[in-house]
Amino acid sequence: MRMAVVILVALALGFGGGYWTAGAGAPGPGAQPTPSAQPAPSGGHEEMDAAHEARVKAFPAKTAGLGAQPLTPKVQGGIKVFELTAKAVQWEVEPGVLRQGFAYSGQIPGPVLRATDGDRVRVVLRNDLPESTSIHFHGLLTPNAMDGVPFITQPPVRPGQTFTYEFVATPGGSHMYHSHNGDDQITRGLFGAFIVEPKTATGPRADLDVVLVVNDGPLGYTLNGKSFPATQPIVAARGQRIRIRYMNEGQIIHPMHLHGLPQQVIAKDGHLLAQPYSVDTVNVAPGERYDIIAVANQPGVWALHCHILSHAESKRGMHGMVTAVIVK
């Protein structure tokens, strides 16, 4: 059975693409070397094929740490309380590749925060970083004092300090939270999803709800903090409806292309669309969020990747922003 899955993955993920080599331009602002930055194998196509196959067969590779895990709030006096600690970590982006990151509560991305539209929430940030920080709640409508911009709406949260944010969670939709201090805290890992559910069910039904945060920078090209082959597949039963919440916390655009299963775009920046539309590629700019529905009606292993191909593939095989939707 495992061999059959490996063969399916190899076939489904065997798309072609460009690559980056030394002298051809950096792969992204602050990005670290990836397999695409390595010289092409010198042994001809057999060596190239072997390198490509080895990375596909490793998928999904095990690494230390897993981001975007749900955080259950404490409830105090009717207020949902989320506690986050910002701290420097060594983050394993793919097997054996450790990079210096910043994490919320040990996760990159940080824990997924969920509330219902109208809930009063409190987010308590402790700063264990060696530098100041803050949190901005991107897409949420907060009081000005809770906007999280140092020296404009609050003093910076200095090392060893704690700051408490409190506001009513609104509007409903897919939102984000991230640092608003310095040029690389977000790309090092200080970001996460903040999902606000509507008070009453609206929009298309979904059987699976998947947060997928794309990022680029010191950690490389990542999906939920990991690079292929350490990315996590989306596994669905035939006929299930998959909601993917794309979020871009990087510095450049990432067109997310799904093989085999049309993507119906149902929401933009947390707002449901009056006229959903179908695409195979969703172009997600920095700061944007797109919600899509994909119906798992075709069995197989379907590649999902950034279509700027140097973010996904090289002469040594796939890397970075690649995962798969597996329909059983």
Confidence of residue 24 (pLDDT cuts 50, 70, 90): very low
User: pLDDT of 166-218, one tens digit each?
Assistant: 999 999 999 999 999 988 999 999 999 999 999 988 889 999 999 999 999 99
Mean confidence (pLDDT) of the chain: 90
What does each C-alpha distance from 74 to 79, 113, 238 come to in angstroms?
Answer: 8, 12, 36
CA nearest neighbour of 228 among 317, 136, 292? 317
**Residue 224: is its pLDDT beyond 50?**
yes
Q: Which residues of 263-297 are buried (b: 16+ CB within 10 A; e: fewer)?
A: bbbbbeebeeeeeeeebeebebeeebbbbbbbbbe
**Residue 15: is its pLDDT beyond 60?**
no
Stated pTM of the model: 0.88
pLDDT of residue 299: 97
- How large is the greatest C-alpha to C-alpha distance in the chain, in angstroms? 67
User: pLDDT of 74-130, one tens digit each?
Assistant: 999 999 999 999 999 999 999 999 999 999 999 999 999 999 999 999 999 999 999
pLDDT of residue 9: 47
CA nearest neighbour of 70 among 177, 193, 188? 193
Distance CA 29, CA 50 (A): 30
**Residue 30: is its pLDDT beyond 80?**
no
Confidence of residue 11 (pLDDT cuts 50, 70, 90): very low
* Residue 35 DSSP one-character state: G
The token pair at 276 is 């959903």
What the chain holds in terms of domains, given with CATH numbers, is 2-63+204-327 (2.60.40.420), 74-197 (2.60.40.420)
Distance CA 148, CA 134 (A): 6
- pLDDT (average), residues 245-255: 98
User: pLDDT of 302-313, one tens digit each?
Assistant: 999 999 999 999
